[in-house]
Every structure is written in C-alpha cells, then in structure tokens.
Structure 1
Amino acid sequence: MENNPSSSNIEKLQRDCYNEWMRLQSKGMTELKQALSNGEKDEEEIREMIRTVIGEFKDYAVKRSEHCRRYSSNSFAPKWNTCLENALLWMGGCRPSSFIRLVYALCGSQTELRYANFLNGNTDDLSMAQGETRGGIDGRGGGEPMSELTAEQLFKINELHLKTVDQENKLTKQSASLQEDTADVPLAVTAFYKEVIGECDVDVERALDKHEEVMGGLLAEADKLRLSTLTKIVDILTPVQAADFLLAGKKLHLSMHEWGRLRERRRLEACGGGSSGGEAAGE
C-alpha cells in the first residue's frame, strides 16, 4: 500500500481525466453539428464520427476505472462537478436509461414541431412538414429526423429500455447493500468504542479500503451498462439519427455543467463569497 500514489495525486489524475473528457465532449459536439449541417451528408463520415464518440466513451470509462481502484469515492461525488451535477448522479454518472429517455424526448419534440407547422398552415402538406424537420432541431441539419422512427425501431428501443432499467435496479440494490454494510461491523463497533472521534486503526483502514474497492467495481459495472446502452441505441438508429442523438446528449451534458456553474456563481455572489470549486479548478 505504501507504494501506491497519494490520494492528492490520484485526485489530480481523476480531475485531468474528467477535464479531458469534457474537452472531447465539446470537440465532438462541434464536429457532429458541422457534419449534420452540411447539405449533402457523407454517411460514411458520420459513421466514423459515431465510432469515434463510442471509442472515446470507452477509453474514458477504462481510464476512470483505473483511477478508481483505490479512491473510487471521488468519482461518486466529484469535486470537479457542480453541486447540481452531483445531485443528479447515479453511480458516478447519468442513468443509462436516460439515454433512451433522450431518444423519446427528441422524437416527441420533433413530432410536435412537424404537426404544429402542418396545422398552422406553414407547409403545403404533411410531407413538406416532414421535410422541414429534416433540417433537425435548431436548423442543424439532419437526414431522417427522430420523429421518423419506424415501428421496428421504437419496439427495439422500448425493449432495450425495459432491460436497461432492470439492470439499473440490480446495481442500485447492490449499492444499497454496500451502504448498509458501512454501518456494520467493524466500523460501527469500532467507532463506538474509540475515545478519539475519527481515529483509524488497521481494521478500520482495511474495511474502508474494501469499501472503496467494491464501490470502484460498481462504478465500472455502471460504466459498462452506460456504454452498452449507448452502443445499442446507436445500432438501432440510422447514422444520421444516431449523430443527432449523440449531439443532443453532448449538448445536454455540457449545458448541465454550465447551468450548475452559473447557479453556484449566483449563490456565491448573493452570499458575498468567492469563486466556486469548478471555477477555481479552471473548468
């Protein structure tokens, strides 16, 4: 154990890993947006971008897992996240089922736009209304909008949703059992009989190390589920739909981070405080 890097060094590695991930999110968002806005879309180019996005997610999960072998608790409530983001975390990230809910949200919003245009007389017929949404949301460009998901696609997505929620529930139960164990022997008994609050001995350190190890395993399993769910969604969608979906996901992730920073800045200003942790870290 003495040869392991210090907790401060590991935290820096974890923070750097996250910052690099956010940089790739921003870069990928720009590239996807540009590809979808082109008049004539190169589907092979879009497929390559999708493979890159999936690959980057996989690499991030692997690196994060390596950094979490001993200090996994940092990733369950990261200091480099805003309070808003941490309040929404599930196993150190988003729920895999939220990817599927994003598909439903995009499908619903684009369908509403199509029919609103049609009913308001902004198009000559429904086919033109469909054509307008081929530009994607916010005029980004698209090919087959999410509102044109086929019955087969919707069936597969719904089936994936049910399986994903079931796997999420299993991991949540494991996490709940782990949390219950933290108040079990030897921690509870040791804490009760200790004269100095917070004093650690070999048994406590061993129990806490084991706790961190199991938490790291749960985080790795959660990341595997996130990656698996993302990959399966992309396989169900057409390349242009998949790019549209991935773009929306990146925008949501980056927006949540910025919204959280804005809310913290406002709160600190109202209290007469200084900069927030995220700003101090240079994110």
Structure 2
Amino acid sequence: MTNGSSARRDDNGGSFEVFVEGWLVRQEHYLDELHSALQHCHESSDDDLKELISRVLAHYQQYYEEKSKITQRNAFLVFSPTWFTTLERALLWIAGFKPGLVFRVVRDSVDDLSDEQNQRMTSLMNKTKAQERALNDEQAKIQESVAAPQLVNVARRRGGAVQDQETAVESLRSALETVVTEADSLRMTTALKMMDILRPVQNVKFLAAAAQLHLKLRGYGLGRS
C-alpha cells in the first residue's frame, strides 16, 4: 500500500514539488553568494569567481536532472506543473523559460560588453531563435495530432477500444517528452554558450540577475495566489 501511494505521488509530481521547494531555498542562498561576489569582485580572482559559477551551474544541472525524471514519468504534468504558481505557469514556453530570455537578461545586467562579445551574442541569438521556431513547429504538430480525427475518434470509443486509447495516449506522451527534452537542452545549451562569451565577473552578473528574476516572479506569483 505504501509503495503504491508513493508511486502515485511521484506520478503526480509530489516528490518533484518537494525537491523544487528545497531547490528554491538553495537558489536564494546562491543569489546571496553572487551578490556578495559582485560587491567584492575587485578582491576576488577569476578562479574564485569560476568556482562559484561552477557551483551555481551544478545547482541548475541538478534541477534539470530531476525534471528529466518527472518528465519521463509524466510528460503531461510538466506542461501544467503543480510546483509553479499561476503566474509562473502563464509564462512557460514548452515547460520552461524561453531560451531567448537569456539575451534579455544579459542585456539588462551586463553593461560592459565589447564589440566582439556583442557580435558573438547576436550570432548566438539568431541561431537560438531559429531553434525556438523549429520547436514551436514541433509542438504545433503535436497539438494538431491531438485534434486529428483518428485520435478524437479513439478517445470517444468505449469498451474494446481501451488498447487503442492507451496506444494513442502513449504516443502523445512520448512526443511531449521528446519536445520537452529538446527544449530543456536548448535552454541549457543557450545559457552555457552565452557564458562562454562572457568574462567571469560578467557571468556572475548574469547569474545573479537570472536568479533574482526567477525568485521575484516566484514571490509575486505567491503573493497573488
């Protein structure tokens, strides 16, 4: 009985919701560290900053590893995640932030980009936008398949069509899992490539701004819920 209840809890995202709560507490601690590093950046070496950056990236990597597990268990859930506020859910793009947001955060938080950095960032932004469009098209095809006559007919059947229903739902689940995995990969790849363009202190500014935006949206969402 206990194992069955635990499995249902996992399928409904309960374990991931608990993880996210703890992850956000650690996010606040890292934001404090990032702000402190910026206040004392003239006293810190690049190696010190890189060590902090590495720990923050490991923190994000942990999130995506855990998210991958819940996506594999219940891909439908990540499109309407119970662990986010209504505001956060309204801003989701394929179960997460839109990769292009990275460029907006950098523009708003880093004011000393060189001409070469700007050129490299523009190139990366154009490639990211193209990949976003491709994923939008992929998601649109999935949505169209849900409304396709053959799938609608399967959903309306009763009795002997249970196997057909299960097959159709499994096909949809698999397609959603794939598009979320690809979107998460683009999110992380875009951020990492952006960080390759930035200097250590600029990366600290970027990571601090990104964490602050995330936590502010969270707080605002909780205040309105």
What is the RMSD of the two structures over their aligned residues, measured on CA atoms? 2.1
For residue 50 of structure 1, the aligned residue among 53, 76, 95 is 53
Given the alignment, which residue of 237, 244, 248 partners 2:198? 237
Q: How much has 1:63 moved relative to structure 2?
A: 2.0
Distance 1:208 1:193 in 2: 13
1:18 deviates by 2.2
The amino acid of 1:261's aligned partner reads L
Q: Which residue of 1 aligns with 2:73?
A: 70
Contact 1:15–1:80 (CA under 8 A) maintained in structure 2 = yes
Aligned residue in 2 for 1:150:
114
Structure 1 unaligned segments of length 5 or more: list them: 107-145, 265-283
Local SS of the residue matching 2:111: helix
Letter of the aligned partner of 1:162 in structure 2? N
| 1:192 CA drift (Å) | 3.9
Greater CA drift, 93-102 or 207-216? 207-216
Look up the match of 1:102. Answer: 105
**Aligned to 2:124, which of 160, 173, 177?**
160
Corresponding residue for residue 172 of structure 2: 211
Specify the alignment match of 2:7 in structure 1.
Answer: 6
TM-score normalised by structure 1 residue count: 0.72
CA contact (8 A) 1:32 1:247 kept: yes
Q: What's the TM-score, normalizing by structure 2?
A: 0.89
Q: Distance in 2 between matches of 1:155 and 1:42?
A: 27
Matched residue, 2:62: 59
Shift of 1:185: 5.0
Partner of 1:78, secondary structure, is coil
What amino acid is aligned across from residue 175 of structure 1 in structure 2?
A: Q
After superposition, the C-alpha distances for 1:172-209 in whole angstroms (9 at most, x for unaligned) are: 110110111112254311344449xxxx8221122112
Deviations 1:218-272 (A, max 9, x none): 11111111111111111111100110010000000010011011112xxxxxxxx
Which residue number corresponds to residue 84 of structure 1? 87
Correspondence for 1:226: 187
CA–CA distance in 2 between the matches of 1:103 and 1:252? 12
| Contact 1:65–1:220 (8 Å) recurs in 2 | yes
Q: Which residue of 2 aligns with 1:178?
A: 142
The CA distance in 2 between the partners of 1:259 and 1:96, in whole Å, is 22
Aligned residues: 219
Q: Percent identity?
A: 30
